[in-house]
Structure 1
């Protein structure tokens, strides 16, 4: 005769109740995230099955995990090509290791899968805090963590799209103003931009300020949106250079697209910067590995870890933490920008 199963698990209760493991965890631990009807059903099923909380697991759930969660939804092609996230995560990771903390990094195929990972982390108490990147307008992750303040969330975005969550934000408005002023002072009167996805909050801010500033300087301005991928930088550059009136300068929202833009310009026989100036938003080693090297809007990305990690520790300790700004942007002038060439 087979021995009966000695312990009823959350998975057993979830199957019997017809709900997810996360829903059972929310219900049994008295956390928000499930309806009262579902909570009641889960509790009834758990009671009928003789479910008992594991005392060791209960003690562990109250203890710190020494893990900070990050869920990335960017494709492997972009993450492999763009230095920004690797530099940022490396800087944060180095600072965390000083206190025996580590990053728990997960990759999701899309926003729906990412949200599922976040819900599971909240339900299981898998992380002490989370970092949220690439915030969209009306982002579901912001809403989720506003409902679950027991897991601190530090958001890399402008406070205007981050609800009540604590933010670390770059001054994108000032960065856009610096770029437009820099190109205007060089003598450019028609510029273009290959921007990031419109759904991101920081793209919206950059779009707005570029439109305002170019209008203030009476400059013509064209803008195409992309998903930051190198091939999209190439395609957008080709489209801009096919216009009847081409811009004399193009700004790209990341470095990998700028490099592709340079390749397109050179393949068309254009001289950079004599015929066309190119500029990258964000500086990296890629900007110095080309000929000519690329003018960029720079910030100290690795150093951000020194600012971010103390914020995380304070939030984990239950302290109030004010929103913070990243170090200011500054223009690094290199060989890809100059005054526009005017035919005699």
Structure 2
């Protein structure tokens, strides 16, 4: 195996000192533009890559922030939440010559292992933790690794700085809309109960007389299966709230297949507002928010923590607003 070239190797080929190579490659003053161009060209020819640990010890940044999703990528389907979030983050971070590295892993244990690898190799300057968990083990590990980190979640109970939105209030907006239409038996097709936002939403529905919450893995398959089970009961719900547009679209398909008319027999509401809510028929009543702006807020919060690791900024994002479309209507046969 060919050994990786060093600064000394580049210096010998370019006919300059190792110090001049370091200055040239790190954009520091002290060398002429002609020398800098020569060093950069030699480094490119030799396929030189700086050693991350050495760069970190010298105070250099990786120029990357990390975000990990401990989910099966297939469960994200056509959802645009993380795409828009990344766009918003990247626009802010690009101005600081920083990129976002997003990676999928199978579970939280793999996510923690990845954080340890990134820390040992100095691969990221900061982390964005999404999908906060009940009893989240990531908080302690990130603190141990001393990586600047922020969370994106439903509250600020995790001890880390971050951006949060009131998922309980958002779910209450949906429930108020449905009860105002006369619905009493309301079901919630939720995500995994390990997520704090799922727990917040489920608690609102379960607090209703006749309210129930059914956990899934966020996939269209489980969303469809949960809908079929709910509608096959002797006393089916008159309204179902879905934790994602993908599951809501799958649930709508199941209802139509079973001859359940939407919205006459069943009202459907989704917790996101992707293009799926507008291309199905009827269009889905949905909670909508500016996810791009949310991503920008997350990036700004992380930059503040990276600049001052002792900072604890907390940003409350706007509560999503309900967009009423054709999938909800007054209950036909009030209980």
User: Does 1:328 pair with 2:323?
Assistant: no
Match of 1:152 among 148, 151, 155: 148
What corresponds to 2:128 in structure 1? 131
Q: Cα offset for 1:66?
A: 1.5
Contact 2:62-2:124 within 8 A present in 1 as well:
yes
Superposition pairs for residues 83-94 of structure 1, below 5 Å?
83-94=80-91
User: Does 1:339 pair with 2:330?
Assistant: yes
Contact 1:287-1:295 within 8 A present in 2 as well:
yes
Contact 1:158-1:167 within 8 A present in 2 as well:
no
Superposition pairs for residues 19-98 of structure 1, below 5 Å?
57-61=53-57, 62-98=59-95
Summarize the Cα distance change of 1:146–1:276 in structure 2 as closer, same or farther, 3 Å threshold.
Answer: same
SS at match of 2:62: coil
What corresponds to 2:186 in structure 1? 191
**Bigger mean CA deviation after superposition, 297-306 or 223-232:** 297-306
SS at match of 1:282: coil
- Provide the rounded CA distance (Å) in 1 between the counterparts of 2:120 and 2:81: 31
Q: Cα offset for 1:57?
A: 4.4
Q: Cα offset for 1:110?
A: 2.3
What corresponds to 1:21 in structure 2? none
Q: Cα offset for 1:55?
A: 9.7
What corresponds to 1:220 in structure 2? 210
Q: Cα offset for 1:124?
A: 2.2
- Provide the rounded CA distance (Å) in 1 between the counterparts of 2:72 and 2:51: 40
- Provide the rounded CA distance (Å) in 2 between the counterparts of 1:55 and 1:204: 43
Q: Cα offset for 1:140?
A: 2.0
TM-score scaled by length of structure 2: 0.80
Superposition pairs for residues 262-273 of structure 1, below 5 Å?
262-273=252-263
Q: Cα offset for 1:159?
A: 4.0
What corresponds to 1:16 in structure 2? none
SS at match of 2:170: helix
Contact 1:69-1:103 within 8 A present in 2 as well:
yes
- Provide the rounded CA distance (Å) in 2 between the counterparts of 1:190 and 1:241: 12
- Provide the rounded CA distance (Å) in 2 between the counterparts of 1:159 and 1:328: 12
Contact 2:68-2:103 within 8 A present in 1 as well:
yes
- Provide the rounded CA distance (Å) in 1 between the counterparts of 2:278 and 2:155: 33
TM-score scaled by length of structure 1: 0.78
- Provide the rounded CA distance (Å) in 2 between the counterparts of 1:305 and 1:281: 18
What corresponds to 1:3 in structure 2? none
SS at match of 1:69: strand
Match of 1:182 among 177, 185, 192: 177
Q: Unaligned stretches of 5+ in structure 2?
A: 1-5, 7-49
Contact 2:152-2:298 within 8 A present in 1 as well:
no
Q: Unaligned stretches of 5+ in structure 1?
A: 1-6, 8-53
What is the number of equivalent residue pairs in this alignment?
284
- Provide the rounded CA distance (Å) in 2 between the counterparts of 1:80 and 1:256: 7
Summarize the Cα distance change of 1:128–1:269 in structure 2 as closer, same or farther, 3 Å threshold.
Answer: same
What corresponds to 1:206 in structure 2? 201
- Provide the rounded CA distance (Å) in 2 between the counterparts of 1:135 and 1:67: 22
Instruction: Please list the CA deviations of residues 177-226 of structure 1 after superposition, one character each: whole Å capped at 9, or x if unmatched.
Output: 111111011111111110110111111111222223x2xxxx41122110
What corresponds to 2:248 in structure 1? 258
- Provide the rounded CA distance (Å) in 1 between the counterparts of 2:106 and 2:52: 34
